[in-house]
């Protein structure tokens, strides 16, 4: 039994080294709901997807819709340092139009708004800020700030917008522009506080015959891969 355990531990350590999982840095991460969450799975999933993208030569930029303070975006920036990272957010909390829709449909309430952020706070977290482009404003209207937006392709996208409308609109914009072998991560799919996330993913999947895989991270993300 002892020998078997040693073999298992050795195998795990090799995996961590290969994918450069910086576990210590996220050991006491606090999520946006105030709970201490050592969300190893979420960050390990990102590292693995970035590794696959680079190994398979998947073309395109990276993006995050719903940046808040940049706690996840900084890991995207670090995992894909040679790629442009588009950061979409109001940087002023939820837009009333989106929040009203979710409250009306009983997807969520107005107990949180994430207004305690700014562009400066986010950019200070980025390890490669020169590769980041801030797209500030209401999505999808903010797409007008991007020149030649229809010509951009993406290899990795994180959607962490919490509410139904921006998540659905994000999927409608990003998925057609996702390169073959690229990935979309949608956070909060199984989060009971933001039920609109699951509704948006399921409706998009039905409408466009898209399949997705659940991830056992703290808020139950899903991953879509472009075949």
Taking only the tens place, the pLDDT of each residue in 178-202 is: 999 999 999 999 999 999 999 999 9
Other Cβ atoms closer than 10 A to 172: 14
Q: pTM of this prediction?
A: 0.83
Task: Identify the domain containing residue 12 by its residue range.
Answer: 2-225
Q: Indicate which CATH number applies to the domain containing 146.
A: 3.40.50.150
Ramachandran class of 145: left when φ > 0, alpha when ψ lies in -120 to 50, beta otherwise: alpha
Domains: count for the chain:
1
Taking only the tens place, the pLDDT of each residue in 133-144 is: 999 999 999 998
Sheet holding 154-159, edge to edge: 132-136, 85-89, 61-65, 154-159, 178-186, 222-225, 213-214
Dist. CA 204–CA 167, nearest whole Å: 9
From residue 111, alpha-carbon distances to 127, 136, 164, 193 in Å are 32, 23, 16, 10
Taking only the tens place, the pLDDT of each residue in 55-95 is: 999 999 999 999 999 999 999 999 999 999 999 999 999 99
């Amino acid at each position: 039994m002892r020998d078997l355990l040693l073999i298992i531990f050795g195998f795990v350590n090799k995996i961590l080294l290969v994918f450069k999982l910086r576990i210590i840095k996220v050991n006491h991460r606090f999520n946006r709901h105030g709970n201490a969450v050592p969300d190893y799975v979420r960050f390990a999933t990102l590292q693995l997807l970035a590794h696959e993208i680079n190994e398979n030569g998947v073309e395109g930029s990276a993006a995050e819709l719903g940046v808040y303070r940049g706690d996840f975006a900084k890991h995207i920036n670090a995992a894909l340092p040679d790629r442009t990272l588009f950061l979409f957010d109001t940087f002023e909390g939820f837009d009333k139009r989106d929040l009203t829709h979710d409250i009306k449909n009983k997807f969520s309430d107005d107990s949180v708004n994430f207004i305690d952020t700014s562009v400066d706070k986010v950019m200070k977290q980025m390890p490669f800020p020169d590769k980041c482009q801030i797209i500030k404003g209401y999505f999808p209207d903010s797409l007008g700030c991007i020149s030649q937006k229809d010509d951009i392709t993406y290899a990795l996208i994180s959607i962490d917008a919490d509410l139904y409308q921006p998540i659905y609109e994000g999927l409608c914009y990003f998925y057609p522009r996702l390169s073959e072998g690229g990935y979309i991560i949608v956070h909060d799919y199984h989060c009971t506080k933001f039920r609109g996330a699951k509704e948006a993913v399921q409706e998009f999947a039905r409408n466009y015959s898209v399949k997705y895989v659940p991830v056992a991270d703290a808020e139950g993300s899903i991953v879509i891969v472009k075949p």
